[in-house]
Structure 1
Amino acid sequence: MIQKLQKKLEGELPGIKSWKRMAVKSGKGESIESESLQKYSDWVSKEKKNSMKKAAVLVGLFKKNDEWCFSLIRRPMSEKNHPGQIALPGGAMEKNETLKNTALREAFEEVGIKPEDVKIIGQLTPVPVPVSEYLIYPFVGVIDYEPEWVINEDEVEKIFILRISELISSDNGYTEMWDLRGNKVEVPIFKVMNETVWGATAAVLSELIDIAK
């Protein structure tokens, strides 16, 4: 699987073609531009990219019980920007570091994945988050063994180990009606391990699904 995945990461990525199915819609079924990423080309224009803050996340793949897995985390309710949300380990880029190093540093700080144990095999398409004006760069890496998890309780409430096969089977078009910032909206989600994954993380994972199938 890893060789196939790496080859696809080196080619043209589906990007918004994958994300469209995870686009938040109004109660009338209409896409909400600021939430849905439908105007991706506008958000990643050269001018916009230069003005957006940058962050990076890590999809750290390892084998457990002979299946490829990776970690997701739940943010604490005390988190300012995304309280209680399910996310990939990651965070904002700091001064004088590369985005790759950001992903590795944050994964180590949040859940204890040692940077030297990760072989980066490629990147998924950067995901713009209009509400916070961040551009998130997802890196895909391979780890030879399941890490010894060390949770930073200031940034992580809980860690989940998700099988790639389980992620793929959760891609079933499931949606929920939410009240989001005062609007009734239809939110496409992944339901995994009794947790709800949506938004930018769901966008990243939808592209991962499409190249991992």
Structure 2
Amino acid sequence: MSGDLDAFTAAGVRARRDRLHGLAARDLAPRFHAGDAAIDPSLSEFMAGLTLRDAAVLIGLFERAEGVSLLLTRRTDQLRSHAGQIALPGGKIDPTDDGPVAAALREAEEEVGLDRRLVHPLGLLDPYVSNSGYRIFPVVAFVEADAPLEPNPDEVADVFEVPLAFLMTPTNHLIESRPWRGAERRYYAMPFEGRRIWGVTAGILRLFYEQVFA
């Protein structure tokens, strides 16, 4: 981690904007250094044969008096996939979406009622490749501090913020494992105040650290 806590102010984040890709960068090639295979190389052979589907997530940042915080959600327990897990707002890029930014803003509006007019995108991280077959475009953006949020009860059980300084501190990036397809799969986890941030969400946050703050 950068030893300078000013990195986690709004000015510090904006000063690193040149480490992001432009907002119109739709054709970024998936690179396995940014994805599930980066932490667990044993997945590489399996993932190399995947036909990737495109998705986008919003890394929504709030400027607070105590520093920048990052928006996360907890999915409802009745969802068919990833029920109860911590997630970034986002989902599949639809044919009607005008690229990853539009998709991330649409999904955030649908999931947590975030008015896209109150979101100010800065740029894109490298695409994150998941072992479930998605090429995920993380969209980094500032959200106006007083933006109202109204979670969709069918999808989101809770909305909360985590200090960016916590999430961008490598000692908080734990490596855990669990059985998957007959082997132990390794992944990042970032426990915070009783909440378990892990898997793809933690992997994308690790990518955010590596690309912007390392």
TM-score, normalised to structure 2, is 0.77
Q: Deviations over 1:29-88 (max 9, x none)?
A: xx431xxxx469947xxxx6xx42221110111112241112111111211121121110
Cα distance, 1:166–1:134 mapped onto 2, change above 3 Å: same
Report what 2:65 is aligned to.
Answer: 65
Cα distance, 1:61–1:100 mapped onto 2, change above 3 Å: same
Cα distance, 1:19–1:193 mapped onto 2, change above 3 Å: farther
Report what 2:42 is aligned to.
Answer: 32
What residue identity is the alignment partner of 2:102?
A: N
Report what 1:8 is aligned to.
Answer: 19
For 1:172 and 1:162, how far apart are their aligned partners in 2? 12
Segments of structure 1 that go 5 or more residues without pairing to the other structure are: 25-30
Q: How big is the shift at 1:125?
A: 1.1
Q: How big is the shift at 1:116?
A: 0.9
For 1:150 and 1:205, how far apart are their aligned partners in 2? 24
For 1:93 and 1:202, how far apart are their aligned partners in 2? 21
For 1:22 and 1:74, how far apart are their aligned partners in 2? 25
Segments of structure 2 that go 5 or more residues without pairing to the other structure are: 1-11, 23-30
**Identity score, percent:** 27
Q: What does residue range 136-147 of structure 1 map to in structure 2 within 5 Å?
A: 136-147=136-147
Q: How big is the shift at 1:187?
A: 3.7
Cα distance, 1:209–1:39 mapped onto 2, change above 3 Å: farther
The number of aligned residues is 194
Q: Deviations over 1:108-151 (max 9, x none)?
A: 111121111111110011112232x2221110111232421111
Q: Aligned-residue CA RMSD in angstroms? A: 2.9
For 1:16 and 1:4, how far apart are their aligned partners in 2? 27
- Does 1:79 find its partner at 2:89? no
- Does 1:23 find its partner at 2:39? yes
For 1:81 and 1:146, how far apart are their aligned partners in 2? 31
Runs of 4+ in 1 over 6 A off after TM superposition: none
TM-score, normalised to structure 1, is 0.77
